[in-house]
Structure 1
């Protein structure tokens, strides 16, 4: 019986993936990797084999990957030595006899040459290493996370407007749950060997489009107010965010306007077999509201 292992079992994407796998795959076929297995006690209680391992500890990875056929390699955190960690994970997978490695990369536009601080260079390195490893691979280029859209536009746009660095580039962010469903599809289906996919939500939007959508939801104008990159960066520092984190976040938010995330495909919909949640649907149901939407019955939208 083939064994599927998901790394980052206690992180957002890894945990979502294992939870969805449990809906269709017998628990005895599932394993998860965590530096701190006790944090995945709920998954272990459902029968998932939680194995201790650290991307920086090669021997722990070889041991954890034993008996695994397919491995979902969730990328390491930014601001760490991702090149070394990913190289160790791929090498350990090959040594342990893993047949197929699926890597969660980040969407990028190589022609534009925009470097997303903390991830782009290490993603390129990891993808090259994986292709040269002799292992069967699948590369999933992830978009911005729709669940975290308030982190890009702020939680107070109804008061202050959508204040972001300038640019008319678009993004089609996707829910973590929809992306996890894409992971499940590749882990459980054939036909994805040695392929790369660019994953998106169901609708692309610029920051200007998002402001227009928020205006409709809110029932009052929400202006799009582009601000200089330096000013946007400074706004993070004023909130007490460390310099290197502020630089990272600013590069990501500015990258959208510059076009880093404008490539839009239906790869995710084809993988999961349903229409991914759109940014409009998510904002309407989840974005913090200061005042109810104006309706004919004067009742807040639900």
Structure 2
């Protein structure tokens, strides 16, 4: 019987991108997706992808999900309720079923132990250690920040209001989430990636002043960058009606950016894609000018 590749979180943005790119490389009947709601995967089922139902929180539901799977990619859970425990359930089920190669999508950061995001992100690195201890071959795809998150940080009205975000002069090698998905698909369908750690990021890092400058060039208008203090920024987010946990996440990430925690550019993404990744200018042009 044919051994297959399983993708978790396939109805989400990153997981969906991985499956999309896998479909350009291997036949649909070689791809399995693990989802909680089969209805959300109707398009994948129609394309011939195998659907298996499971919940990270429910280890029993995962028992059969990994049968006849050779390789899997665990897209990290976006449910922060015992995320490490969820990941362990997936890893245990994969090991029990005889999965040969386990890929995990984690995070790229300079030093998790000194970062203000330590408590929020340490479980990524604990997951990696648990995978290592399992004895399965592994590849750790440590993703830097998605370019697609920039509107979350600075909003959609920057051409009118300017760029306002308390990241100081911190620099980030933003990369496109879809290209990260493609890199994951390449790892799953080619050899030579066992027991490797990749830092998935652009070669070029950018400050939020750079973002304002690029938008100024593209729009023909002067787009300013304002670096408010955390108190002022927190007040503005609360005034906009954002819930407290979202405000705290935004402040945590902005502080980490200001401290240079994500300033880890590199060539792994370019090498895995086999080409130069898209630049931030292209993303900003499409997102803010629609061209």
TM-score by length of 2: 0.95
Seen in structure 2, the aligned counterparts of structure 1 residues 150 and 111 have a Cα distance that, compared at 3 Å, is closer
Deviation, 1:219, is 1.1
Contact residue 269 and residue 275 of structure 1 kept, 8 A: yes
After TM superposition, the structure 1 stretch with the greater mean CA deviation from structure 2, 265-274 or 197-206, is 197-206
Report the counterpart of residue 216 of structure 2 in structure 1. Answer: 215
Deviation, 1:246, is 1.5
Looking at structure 2, the residues matched to 144 and 259 of structure 1 have their Cα atoms a distance apart, in angstroms, of 12
Contact residue 71 and residue 101 of structure 2 kept, 8 A: yes
Looking at structure 2, the residues matched to 125 and 51 of structure 1 have their Cα atoms a distance apart, in angstroms, of 26
Seen in structure 2, the aligned counterparts of structure 1 residues 257 and 152 have a Cα distance that, compared at 3 Å, is same
Report the counterpart of residue 13 of structure 1 in structure 2. Answer: 14
Deviation, 1:118, is 6.5
Report the counterpart of residue 32 of structure 2 in structure 1. Answer: 31
Report the counterpart of residue 58 of structure 2 in structure 1. Answer: 57
Large movers: runs of 4+ above 4 Å: none
Looking at structure 2, the residues matched to 40 and 238 of structure 1 have their Cα atoms a distance apart, in angstroms, of 37
Looking at structure 2, the residues matched to 117 and 251 of structure 1 have their Cα atoms a distance apart, in angstroms, of 10
Q: How far does the alpha carbon of each residue in 1:148-190 deviate from its partner, in whole angstroms, 9 at most, with x for none?
A: 3211222122222211114222112111210111110110111
Q: How does 1:260-275 map to 2 (within 5 A)?
A: 260-275=261-276
Q: How does 1:98-137 map to 2 (within 5 A)?
A: 98-110=99-111, 113-116=114-117, 119-137=120-138
After TM superposition, the structure 1 stretch with the greater mean CA deviation from structure 2, 152-161 or 69-78, is 152-161
Seen in structure 2, the aligned counterparts of structure 1 residues 38 and 264 have a Cα distance that, compared at 3 Å, is same
Looking at structure 1, the residues matched to 79 and 239 of structure 2 have their Cα atoms a distance apart, in angstroms, of 22
Report the counterpart of residue 139 of structure 1 in structure 2. Answer: 140
Deviation, 1:28, is 1.0
Deviation, 1:236, is 2.2
Looking at structure 2, the residues matched to 62 and 49 of structure 1 have their Cα atoms a distance apart, in angstroms, of 16
Deviation, 1:115, is 3.4
Looking at structure 2, the residues matched to 149 and 208 of structure 1 have their Cα atoms a distance apart, in angstroms, of 13
Contact residue 167 and residue 257 of structure 1 kept, 8 A: yes
- 2:177 is aligned with 1:176: yes
Contact residue 106 and residue 119 of structure 1 kept, 8 A: no
Instruction: Specify the SS of the correspondent of 1:197.
Output: strand
Report the counterpart of residue 70 of structure 2 in structure 1. Answer: 69
Contact residue 3 and residue 68 of structure 1 kept, 8 A: yes
Segments of structure 1 that go 5 or more residues without pairing to the other structure are 290-301
Deviation, 1:75, is 0.2
Report the counterpart of residue 298 of structure 1 in structure 2. Answer: none
Contact residue 8 and residue 33 of structure 2 kept, 8 A: yes
Seen in structure 2, the aligned counterparts of structure 1 residues 63 and 112 have a Cα distance that, compared at 3 Å, is closer
TM-align CA RMSD: 1.7
Q: How does 1:128-207 map to 2 (within 5 A)?
A: 128-207=129-208
Deviation, 1:67, is 0.9
Seen in structure 2, the aligned counterparts of structure 1 residues 86 and 112 have a Cα distance that, compared at 3 Å, is closer
Q: How far does the alpha carbon of each residue in 1:107-161 deviate from its partner, in whole angstroms, 9 at most, with x for none?
A: 1111771132764111121111111111111111112111232112221222222
Report the counterpart of residue 226 of structure 2 in structure 1. Answer: 225
Report the counterpart of residue 235 of structure 1 in structure 2. Answer: 236
Q: How far does the alpha carbon of each residue in 1:7-31 deviate from its partner, in whole angstroms, 9 at most, with x for none?
A: 0011111111111111110111100
Deviation, 1:93, is 0.9
